Amino acid sequence: MDTPISRRTVLGLAAGVPAAMALAACGTSGPGTGSGGGGATYWFLNGQPQEGVRTGAVDRFNKANPDAKIKATTYQNDAYKTKIKTAIGAGQAPTIIWGWGGGTLRTYVEADQVEDLTSWFDENAKVKDRLFPSTFGAATVDGKIYAMPCETVQPIVLYYNKKIFDDVGAEPPQSWDDIMALVPKFNAKGIAPFSLAGQSRWTNMMWLEFLFDRTGGPEVFQAVFDGEKDAWSNPIALTALGKVQDLVKARGFIEGFSSITADSNADQALLYTGKTAMMLHGSWSYGIQQADGGDFVSSGGLGFMNFPPVDGGTGDPGNTVGNPGQYLSISSKATAEQKETAKKFFTEGVLDDEEVKQWIGTGGVPVLQGTQDQLAADKNAEFLEFTYDIASNAKTFAQSWDQAMSPTAAETLLDNIVKLFQLSISPQQFADNMNAIIGQ
């Protein structure tokens, strides 16, 4: 019954007429790739301080290349994920597609929407060899490279407010049992143990990523990823799922966490204002707390550590999860000139000296090799070297689940994670719901 029919027929039927009318009415064609010239388009995320670094790199490139400019457009995180997908599907993708690699990149590849960069990287070994080799995993689909790793390596970090810990007389947790023991201690003082932006869903997911890894190692999720039947019902998975519910039940997360979103950075504000004691968040949060938290970071108020081991767990406590890097792909629908401009940007613009300096300034570790000296010289040396060590020493640097999986499976996963955190489903129900879509 699976007969391919021309996409253009249906699209033309569904959207052609109104779209043509709307275009005729508006007169502008938006940031499409159809209109030629060497001018490339590039969409990425807004939000300081990262936005400034990205914009700066584009500005410098445009100044150096007045006849092949890049036009940048910025979007909010969650809005971008939908927008980019729709734009690509409609043939309106920007020339340079910013993303997280992994499962989403695979859908682009399967739809023939992004350029295969394997041979380009072979010819330009210089570009490839200066980056962390571990970043190429999420850029590779079926042995071919479809994206250029860029920006920073972002492990998930356990942050804590040192002042609050001093006030309460507590020590940073060295194990999961320590975490559970700290919870009543902070609650008794009227301070919420953990900040969490529960409405954003992926924030909750980071907890499961670590608990799975620490309890049973990376193999547990790998089995899910490989499409093994009933992989979620692994007793280790069920234990990890139960542990997170234990923490919710013990009031480990701030009251009302389901109303908080990460896009507004409210979860991070809770930590630096001292309303909560700890927070699990990406390494990019360091820059945000530095920018928004007054003298919180500069006065040494922010503590950070890798997620502690789980008692009796078999996972390596040196492992980490998060984003091995960010990724730039080139739309296969772009004109030859636009693709040239994009590749030129990859060679000359991406991670130029100034950009590297700025990323380090925001507390980020660029995906570039041999930056240790620069990291050590920065005012945030402690955090930067901590991140660099985690990234380079981790036996497994697992990509965030929702980025690694296909968008379809990720959506079901995130929905079920929210329900798990709301205690409206049991670990067993979670496993059943997720087993049903394994292999999708």
Site size for another protein (CB under 8 A): 52
The residue (of 113 and 399) whose beta carbon lies closer to another protein is 113
Report d(CA 261, CA 201) in Å as an integer: 9
Q: In the complex, what is the shortest distance from the CB of residue 144 to another protein, in angstroms, rounded to a whole number?
A: 17
Q: In the complex, what is the shortest distance from the CB of residue 275 to another protein, in angstroms, rounded to a whole number?
A: 6
CB 58 within 8 A of CB 112: no
Q: In the complex, what is the shortest distance from the CB of residue 77 to another protein, in angstroms, rounded to a whole number?
A: 13
CB 320 within 8 A of CB 22: no
Q: In the complex, what is the shortest distance from the CB of residue 276 to another protein, in angstroms, rounded to a whole number?
A: 9
Which stretch in 82-90, 172-180, 226-234, 388-396 sits in contact with another protein by CB under 8 A? 82-90
Q: Does the protein bind another protein through residue 10 (CB under 8 A)?
A: yes
Residues whose CB is less than 8 angstroms from the CB of residue 280 and which lie 6 or more positions away in sequence, other chains included: 156, 157, 158, 159, 194, 196, 203, 206, 207, 210, 307
The residue (of 372 and 406) whose beta carbon lies closer to another protein is 406
The residue (of 104 and 234) whose beta carbon lies closer to another protein is 104
Report d(CA 146, CA 143) in Å as an integer: 10
Q: Does the protein bind another protein through residue 48 (CB under 8 A)?
A: no
Beta-strand ranges (E) seen in 117-265 are 140-141, 144-145, 148-150, 152-161, 192-195
Q: In the complex, what is the shortest distance from the CB of residue 205 to another protein, in angstroms, rounded to a whole number?
A: 14
* From candidates 122, 167, 354, 415, binder to another protein by CB under 8 A: 415
Select from 155, 124, 104 the least CA-distant residue to 327: 104
* From candidates 184, 256, 294, 318, binder to another protein by CB under 8 A: 256
Residue 108: which H helix or E strand, with range? helix 102-110
What is the DSSP track for 373-424?
HHHHHSTTHHHHHHHHHHHHH-S-EEEPHHHHS-HHHHHHHHHHHHHHHTTS
Q: In the complex, what is the shortest distance from the CB of residue 367 to another protein, in angstroms, rounded to a whole number?
A: 26
Select from 280, 45, 61 the least CA-distant residue to 159: 280
Report d(CA 107, CA 110) in Å as an integer: 5
- Identity of the amino acid at 23: L
| Pairing between β-strand 320-323 and β-strand 326-330 as defined by DSSP bridges | unpaired
Q: In the complex, what is the shortest distance from the CB of residue 14 to another protein, in angstroms, rounded to a whole number?
A: 3
Report d(CA 162, CA 180) in Å as an integer: 18
Q: In the complex, what is the shortest distance from the CB of residue 111 to another protein, in angstroms, rounded to a whole number?
A: 4
Q: Does the protein bind another protein through residue 270 (CB under 8 A)?
A: yes
Which stretch in 9-17, 162-170, 203-211, 299-307 sits in contact with another protein by CB under 8 A? 9-17
Q: Does the protein bind another protein through residue 238 (CB under 8 A)?
A: no
Q: In the complex, what is the shortest distance from the CB of residue 423 to another protein, in angstroms, rounded to a whole number?
A: 10
Q: Does the protein bind another protein through residue 435 (CB under 8 A)?
A: no
Positions in 52-81 near another protein (CB under 8 A):
81
Positions in 92-151 near another protein (CB under 8 A):
107-108, 110-113
The residue (of 258 and 435) whose beta carbon lies closer to another protein is 258
User: Residue with structure tokens 């070297």?
Assistant: 385
Residues near another protein (CB under 8 A): 1-7, 10, 13-15, 17-18, 21, 81-82, 85-86, 88-89, 107-108, 110-113, 198-199, 254-261, 264, 266, 269-270, 275, 406-408, 410-412, 415, 418-419, 422, 424
